[in-house]
Structure 1
Amino acid sequence: MTNEWELYRSFLSVLREGSLSGAARVLGMAQPTVGRHIAALERALGLALFTRSQTGLLPTEAAQALHPHAEAMESTAAALERTAASYGDGVRGVVRVTASEVIGVEVMPAVITSLRQQYPELKVELVLSNRVQDLLHREADIAVRMTQPKQEQLVARRVGTVELGLHASSDYLARCGEPATLADLSRHTLIGYDQVSPFVRAALQRWPQFQRERVALRTDSDVAQLALIRAGAGIGICQNALARRSTPALVRLLPAEFSMLLETWVTMHEDLRDSPRCRVTFDALVQALTAHTDSEAPTSSTGNR
């Protein structure tokens, strides 16, 4: 007998893939089975969820309204599976960690390697996104955030401050020269954002030199921006510690005129504080990120506590 969650899982897959065949491939099911799930859910709810079009299945207004609730069910089901798999002796089971792209690529691999060496039965799901995952609804177990969490139900540890600065490779500076002032940036190739986010909008109030039309190389991937800086493509913003660890090291530019400080926090839901798998992962992240932020040596005290 099909349970209710299976119906909603098929519903979510059809929403995401836009067709029964696409959902069936993702779920590893036969297409008629997915079709039966959608029909059963529509009967149970008394609602039409999809209409057919030349491009596939289009969600109805009712389906769009159900979408966030079905995603909440998905997160809860995944959290239940992770929790159930973690019971037994020792540190075992799945822990789901979310972090920004840069932290996930540049810092997390060493942390995960060390954890797996100590706890071979620990499995790690790493979600790289600048979107703040919802820990209250268990989209992730642990999050590394560049902003202080506000929810009382979260365990949060401030690990330090990450400083961002303007950087370029020595190769780029040898070709194009070094800017003496922020105004000189207009004569250089700037690496930066594509879409304007609230974070970018706030930064532009302080540094209008980075208006979108002045940015020649645009991507919203922080990892891609860092790679472009390292490749000598232009001048961009990156974490000072990562710039120093690059090979060869990147050159910090205009430190007195450009410095961004981001508080760094490790957080998890308070219900997980006694979970062995989450506790050891949380502590390992605190240790690694404390060392990472200590190596920043900020040039300004703004934002520090």
Structure 2
Amino acid sequence: MAENIGWELYRTFLAVLQEGSLSGAARSLGITQPTAGRHIEALEHALSVSLFTRSQLGLQATDVALALRAHAEAMQSTAAALERAASGHAKGAGVKGVVRVSASEVVGVEVLPPIIAALREAHPQLVVELALSNRVQDLLLREADIAVRMMRPTQAQLVARRVGRIEVGLHARRDYLDKHGTPRNAKALWEHAVIGYDKPSPFLRGASKTLPGFTREAFALRADSDLAQLALIRAGAGIGFCQVALGRRDALMRVLPKTFAFQLETWVTMHEDLRASPRCRATFDALAEGLERYARL
């Protein structure tokens, strides 16, 4: 097996996996399609394996390629982390460079923007990348520099600050309740259009253990996106879960607050190696302070 295989070959390999074709990979990387093809051929030759098969549907990843994907993604995360770290050590002092922040959809869209706007006002040379996903990104693999998590981190290598508990409850628009009535107990809730998840999630599994009837089949409106669920509530489509502070801000009505109340313990975390980084320290402190204010609403 060849030694010192260039990162650009793995980068092209990962792009082909993600895009599904040489042409798509070439566009995403800013290279030509023949160059992308040569990269794949060179990597296959260096590794002595077949990574893709050609078919009428395009390139199909082999089992070997699928097994290598996680390693290529880890390399990509490390390369991106290296670039972010280097960006913070350019000439001159002060908070500057790129910091990547991971957060859930709702927190990233509904809560963080004013916090980040104030942070950028204070540090205009700071570049913030928001990675919004309900998947918990791995800080140890440097998929992100800082993460907002709705659970206590367990890894010893992480610096963590608890910012409080964010309460989640059932909400609906006032005109929906005026038209359909307000449920007075859990049983009456299922006579309404309840908004929930399409696929099982940790939140849904936890709720189903304590709340009878809280199953996927009981939901009249289903979406795995928290933002889509929130949009349905705001549109008056039914009753669904949202953060209490957001419901209060949008003048939504709380439904069955004593029966349906969930506390999300919220933390801001980063890798301990970034503690001395000015760009990460400033971002970490700004997020923690802003989220602490939000949690008290």
TM-score range, shorter chain: over 0.9
Name 2:100's counterpart in structure 1. 96
**Partner SS state of residue 285, structure 1:** helix
Is the aligned partner of 1:109 residue 2:113? yes
Change in CA separation of 1:99 and 1:186 when aligned onto 2, cut-off 3 Å = same
Taking structure 2 as the reference length, what is the TM-score of the superposition? Answer: 0.96
Name 1:181's counterpart in structure 2. 185
Name 1:281's counterpart in structure 2. 283
Name 2:150's counterpart in structure 1. 146
Q: Percent identity?
A: 65
CA contact (8 A) 2:5 2:46 kept: no
Name 2:49's counterpart in structure 1. 47
Q: Deviations over 1:152-203 (max 9, x none)?
A: 0000001100111111110101110000101001210011111112331121
What is the CA–CA distance in structure 1 between the aligned matches of 2:6 and 2:83, rounded to whole Å? Answer: 16
Q: Deviations over 1:248-291 (max 9, x none)?
A: x1111111111111100000000000100000000001101101
Equivalent residue letter for 1:203? A
What is the CA–CA distance in structure 2 between the aligned matches of 1:208 and 1:86, rounded to whole Å? Answer: 52
- Note the aligned Cα RMSD (angstroms): 1.1
Given the alignment, which residue of 31, 45, 65 partners 1:29? 31
Taking structure 1 as the reference length, what is the TM-score of the superposition? Answer: 0.94
What is the CA–CA distance in structure 2 between the aligned matches of 1:67 and 1:4, rounded to whole Å? Answer: 16
Name 1:299's counterpart in structure 2. none
Shift of 1:3: 6.5
Given the alignment, which residue of 105, 129, 135 partners 1:131? 135
**Partner SS state of residue 138, structure 1:** coil
Name 1:290's counterpart in structure 2. 292
What is the CA–CA distance in structure 1 between the aligned matches of 2:98 and 2:238, rounded to whole Å? Answer: 41
Name 1:38's counterpart in structure 2. 40
Q: Deviations over 1:122-166 (max 9, x none)?
A: 000001111000000100000000001110000000110011111
CA contact (8 A) 1:100 1:144 kept: yes
Unaligned runs of 5+ in 2: none
What is the CA–CA distance in structure 1 between the aligned matches of 2:144 and 2:5, rounded to whole Å? Answer: 24
Shift of 1:209: 2.9
**Partner SS state of residue 157, structure 1:** strand
Shift of 1:210: 2.6
What is the CA–CA distance in structure 2 between the aligned matches of 1:86 and 1:121, rounded to whole Å? Answer: 10
Unaligned runs of 5+ in 1: 296-305
What is the CA–CA distance in structure 1 between the aligned matches of 2:60 and 2:71, rounded to whole Å? Answer: 18
Equivalent residue letter for 2:285? D
TM alignment of 1:183-198, pairs within 5 A: 183-198=187-202
CA contact (8 A) 1:185 1:209 kept: no
Equivalent residue letter for 2:221? L
Equivalent residue letter for 1:178? T
Q: Answer with 119-128 or 208-217: which moved more.
A: 208-217
What is the CA–CA distance in structure 2 between the aligned matches of 1:188 and 1:209, rounded to whole Å? Answer: 13
Given the alignment, which residue of 78, 84, 87 partners 1:85? 87
Shift of 1:208: 3.0
Q: Deviations over 1:80-107 (max 9, x none)?
A: 0001111131111000000001100111
Name 1:237's counterpart in structure 2. 241
Name 1:270's counterpart in structure 2. 272
What is the CA–CA distance in structure 1 between the aligned matches of 2:224 and 2:22, rounded to whole Å? Answer: 32
Q: Answer with 20-29 or 74-83: which moved more.
A: 20-29
Name 2:263's counterpart in structure 1. 261
